[in-house]
């Protein structure tokens, strides 16, 4: 089973997108792209093995980037190129029916919402952790987490905390962990988790 990251955005909006203004015209899709690259890219010019990142966009649906299905040689490996690729992917999806399992460039879409996907994986006995600055320190439970390595989902929050503090998510009473007292960018959180987990497999 894969190591899975969930990331959700309420702000991505591409109707005025231009590659000349990546930050201002995409509703910060560039941040999502940075997280995708952090999750997928490994060392030695390859993808990490068996890693997925599920991207939930309120305005456009759910996209699944699976390191076992993507082609490394043709995958855009910079934030700029990946954001442009993702915008084109979203536009192509919007022109077609939103069918479950539809694949565009080996990136899969899903009809499941954020909460539906969480419930789906919890039914499969995945352990779900929410990454939050005020959560319990990851390193206090690192050995236990490593034992469950292939059955884990990490939810990466946004800067406002709006997603991880939502009523729906809080009602699920999921464990919240942190990487210590220092604040990190979402992409850095993903890299640090991989560093402390994948390298010990």
CA–CA gap between residue 37 and residue 116 (Å, rounded): 25
Mean pLDDT along residues 5-17: 92
Mean pLDDT along residues 78-95: 86
Last residue of a domain, one of 91, 110, 129: 110
For the chain, what is the mean pLDDT? 85
CATH number of the domain bearing residue 23: 3.40.1280.10
Mean pLDDT along residues 52-63: 94
CA–CA gap between residue 68 and residue 49 (Å, rounded): 7
Tens-digit pLDDT profile for residues 163-179 = 787 888 889 999 898 88
Specify the number of domains making up the chain. 2
Residues 173 and 125 in one domain: yes
- What's the pLDDT score for residue 105? 57
Residues 24 and 92 in one domain: yes
CA–CA gap between residue 117 and residue 111 (Å, rounded): 9
Mean pLDDT along residues 152-157: 90
Which range scores top for mean pLDDT: 1-5, 72-76, 142-146? 72-76
- What's the pLDDT score for residue 103? 47
Mean pLDDT along residues 15-23: 87
Mean pLDDT along residues 44-53: 91
Tens-digit pLDDT profile for residues 89-145 = 998 876 554 444 444 457 999 999 999 999 999 999 998 999 888 888 887 777 777
Helices (H), the chain: 22-25, 29-40, 79-94, 114-123, 142-147, 167-170, 186-197
Q: State the DSSP H helix or E strand holding residue 108, giving kind and residue range, or none if neither.
A: strand 107-110
User: b/e map of 133-170 (b: 16 or more CB within 10 Å)?
Assistant: eeeeebeeeeeebeeeeebbbbbbbbeeeebbeeeebe
- What's the pLDDT score for residue 101? 47
Residues 129 and 106 in one domain: no
Range of the domain at 168: 114-200
pLDDT exceeds cutoff 70 at 149: no
- What's the pLDDT score for residue 184? 82
Residues 102 and 184 in one domain: no
Residues 87 and 27 in one domain: yes
Residues 89 and 184 in one domain: no
């Amino acid at each position: 089973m894969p190591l899975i990251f969930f990331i959700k955005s309420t702000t991505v909006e591409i109707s005025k997108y231009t590659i000349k203004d990546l930050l201002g015209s995409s509703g910060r899709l560039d941040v999502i792209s940075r997280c995708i690259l952090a999750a997928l890219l490994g060392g030695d010019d390859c993808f990490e093995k068996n890693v997925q990142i599920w991207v939930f966009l309120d305005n456009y649906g759910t996209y699944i980037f699976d390191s076992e299905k993507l082609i490394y040689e043709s995958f855009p490996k910079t934030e700029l190129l990946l954001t442009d690729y993702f915008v084109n992917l979203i536009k192509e999806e919007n022109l077609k029916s939103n069918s479950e399992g539809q694949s565009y460039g080996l990136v899969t879409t899903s009809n499941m919402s954020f909460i539906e996907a969480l419930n789906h994986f919890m039914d499969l006995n995945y352990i779900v952790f929410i990454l939050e600055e005020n959560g319990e320190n990851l390193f206090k439970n690192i050995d236990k987490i490593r034992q469950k390595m292939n059955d884990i989902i990490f939810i990466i929050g946004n800067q406002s905390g709006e997603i991880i503090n939502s009523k729906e998510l809080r009602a699920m009473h999921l464990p919240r962990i942190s990487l210590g007292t220092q604040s990190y960018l979402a992409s850095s959180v993903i890299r640090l988790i991989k560093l402390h987990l994948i390298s010990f497999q």
